[in-house]
Copies of this chain bind each other. A is one copy, B any other.
Amino acid sequence: MPHLRSLRVLLALALAGLLLTARAATFEGNALSGFSREGAERQRALEARFDALLKRENLREWMKRLSARPHHVGSPYGKENAEFMAGLFRSWGYEVEIERFDVLFPTPKTRVLELLGPEKFTAQLAEPPIEGDATSNQSAEQLPIYNAYSVDGDVTGELVYVNYGVPKDYEELERRGIDVKGKIVIARYGGSWRGIKPKVAAEHGALGCIIYSDPRNDGYFRGDVYPKGAWRNEQGAQRGSVADMPLFPGDPLTPGVGATKDAKRLDRKAAPTLTKIPVLPISYADALPLLRALGGAVAPDAWRGALPVTYHLGPGPARVRLKLEFDWKLAPAFDVIARLRGGERPDQWVIRGNHHDAWVNGASDPISGMVALLEEARAVGELAKTGWRPKRTIIYAAWDAEEPGLLGSTEWVETHAAELSRHAVLYVNTDSNGRGFLSMGGSHTLEGFINEVARDVTDPQKKIPVRERARSYTVLNGDAEERREARERADLRLDALGSGSDFTPFLQHLGVATLNLGFGGEDNGGSYHSIYDSFDHYTRFGDPNFDYGIALAKVCGRTILRFAEADTLPLSFDGFADTLGHYVREVTRLADETRAEIAEKNRRIGDKTFEAVADPTEPFVAPKPEAPAPHLNFAPLQNALARLQESARLYHAALGGPQWQESARTRERQKSLDEVLKGVEQTMTRGEGLPRRPWFKHQIYAPGFYTGYGVKTLPGVREAIEQHDWKEADEQIVVVANTLARLAAEIDRATAIVSGGAK
């Protein structure tokens, strides 16, 4: 596209002087990105009416209703909840559908965990009802403690403690001469998403995997336990999915396509995201006898938890039997989809979702977010009843089957992939919400926009903008660089998104610009995925007055209303390009550090440093030397980044230029700009996806293959370096560089429109 290149030179000359003015204007006062001055005033009036409609009593009432009984996917009450919400949306004036998918959802038939020796012990695997927690006694409907998508199995073996069970823990075991092959591992929750633990254990030859909640991470070490306090008590356990979601989320039998009635399904034996070995989560009361029975070396300092025992690694003498059988049925998942059709640009869809299924009663996860969404939707509906109509189409979604692996959202996205690719301009996700600080994650092109929203919503406790409270948090808790930035940079940076909630299919499979929003940090506790995540728990410890439920409705309501109403989609590229610069520096530094680490390790091996220090009374296996890491050619990435940063600069300069003054912004020009902008996030995807996981198409963000929820930015490059795969790293640098080049070209197209140029 040579015409674009020469244009850029012209623009650079013409607009350089305007740059500072333009940026200053963006942050000045109360400007709203994408709106004219007059439009912004109208919008503010609309938002004031929206705010006035919000009622905290609704949140309380709906939470009580929706969490009154267990409502996991496939449960009777889950279906009732879906129908109840569909009725609400309808009553508020939305076009509503309940979309059904049939998804693999195993539930336990047999769960046995026994310590066979030296002493005998049978794990209880049950959470008792608690007085003062009204729903904790609904044992008939509660799902038992288990990990979904564990395979069936009946295994017996010596036990080995593997800390968090992540790859580096196995390296540590190897240095101590401990092999888990043919053994059963016990890992504690934390340090990674839970599904990584059985995956890595199986890679190392373990027969089975037990995951327990250590009180150090999730129990009395953190605070008083339930019901005295909010934290996990000794019988509490964490349910959860262990499917290999970094490969692909959603129904394990229908990767890439919707799990509709007639969908072609994989044979279960061939489903790659099921675990390779049986897995069971347990409480710390059940873990204590197992850990106490372990012998062998004492675990490294950082591996030790808060149980009153000396943590040993094993293997043995503890021997355990783990027997699991599941009912491998298909269950119906019910997504509630409510639509408010846009007036001027109905083909641009602004989508807002939260899941409705829970592991048990799920007052916090997910109902706390769900009820804020409902109240937001009610208020938007009320506005629409007064004759107002959004420019763009608004879609509210209540997803089912998020808990087992984002099934409701993923199957819907896969089913509607083609139309979503054409129409979706934004997806806004929420999930659990509580008292505290606004956390903002998402596409970095939305940084400026969401900062304006967070600037305009007041914290209910502190009466300062929620953005300023979040900023203060970073000033107090960040490192020196984060502190400096929080003070000096007008916008707070968005967190990059990994996985763990329903944004994943939108962002990482389709390339829809996405936000994930929520409050928290003062709602600590350990009810997560237990029967104690209840209305009683939430209204004591989560957000007793639903102040932050209302605050979330205000944040997300503004997000939706502004995106639905803006003259042009309020994306920005300056913060994005700046953050991308960070990521590029991170991966280059990672390569340097990894090279230095390998060199240092090899030097220590050569110098016999390990042998000199090792205690001869303890087992020691000298590490093996590794081929030195080469210097990688980062130039393509750095050049592409430089071009992208220049494109971003020119776009923002053009926005402040003479060709985009309010009088010059015709509806047609705005629409053409929108057409370009809505494709920008998709430009960051690649049809082939990431190496070895084609479902994940985004080149900037992915959940880590060995971290799960934790994000890897520039994942193709970063994970190749982490895996010491230098050839792949070199290839992926080029792939990402090409992606950035395409992106720069798209931004240049937008700039051309704004500056009145061709197209």
Contacts and interface: CB of A to CB of B under 8 A. Distances in A.
A477 B613 CA distance: 10
Nearest to A229: B310
Contact of A298 (B223, B306, B476, B612): B223
A556 to B, nearest CB: 22
| Most interface-central of A225, A229, A607 (chain B CB within 10 A) | A607
A221 interface: yes
A612 B464 contact: yes
| Most interface-central of A224, A310, A611 (chain B CB within 10 A) | A310
B308 A616 contact: no
A215 interface: yes
A612 B462 contact: yes
Nearest to A215: B308
Contact of A310 (B223, B462, B476, B616): B223
B615 A476 contact: no
Interface string A608-642: 01111101110000000000000000000000000
Contacts of A224: 298, 310
Contact of A309 (B220, B231, B309): B220
A616 B475 contact: no
Contact of A304 (B221, B468, B475): B221
A472 interface: yes
A472 B522 contact: no
Nearest to A468: B612
A477 B615 CA distance: 14
Nearest to A609: B472
Contact of A476 (B231, B473, B476, B610): B610
A609 B307 contact: no
A461 B613 CA distance: 10
A306 B216 CA distance: 9
A469 interface: yes
A271 to B, nearest CB: 41
Contact of A609 (B229, B306, B309, B476): B476
Contacts of A225: 310
A604 interface: yes
Given A476-B609, A615-B522, A220 B469 contact: no
Contact of A306 (B306, B477, B616): B306
Interface string A470-500: 0011011100000000000000000000000
Contacts of A464: 612
B613 A473 contact: yes
Interface in A356-415: none
Contacts of A222: 298, 310
B310 A308 contact: no
A476 B613 contact: yes
A220 B615 contact: no
A217 to B, nearest CB: 12
Contacts of A468: 612
Interface in A223-248: 223-225, 229, 231
A477 B301 CA distance: 14
A617 to B, nearest CB: 7
A561 to B, nearest CB: 27
A758 B719 CA distance: 70
Nearest to A223: B298
Nearest to A521: B615
Contact of A613 (B304, B309, B472): B472
Contacts of A472: 607, 609, 612-613
Nearest to A618: B522
Contacts of A522: 615, 617
A305 to B, nearest CB: 9
Interface of A: 215, 220-225, 229, 231, 298, 304, 306-310, 436, 461-462, 464, 468-469, 472-473, 475-477, 522, 604, 607, 609-613, 615-617
Task: List the 10 closest A-B pairs by CB distance, nearest first.
Answer: A472-B612, A308-B308, A472-B609, A220-B310, A522-B615, A472-B613, A224-B310, A223-B298, A476-B613, A461-B616
12 contacts: A221-B310, A222-B298, A231-B310, A461-B616, A464-B612, A469-B612, A472-B609, A473-B612, A475-B609, A476-B604, A522-B615, A522-B617
Given A306-B306, A462-B612, 18 more contacts: A220-B310, A221-B304, A222-B298, A222-B310, A223-B310, A224-B298, A224-B310, A306-B308, A307-B308, A436-B615, A461-B616, A469-B613, A472-B613, A473-B612, A475-B607, A476-B609, A476-B610, A477-B613
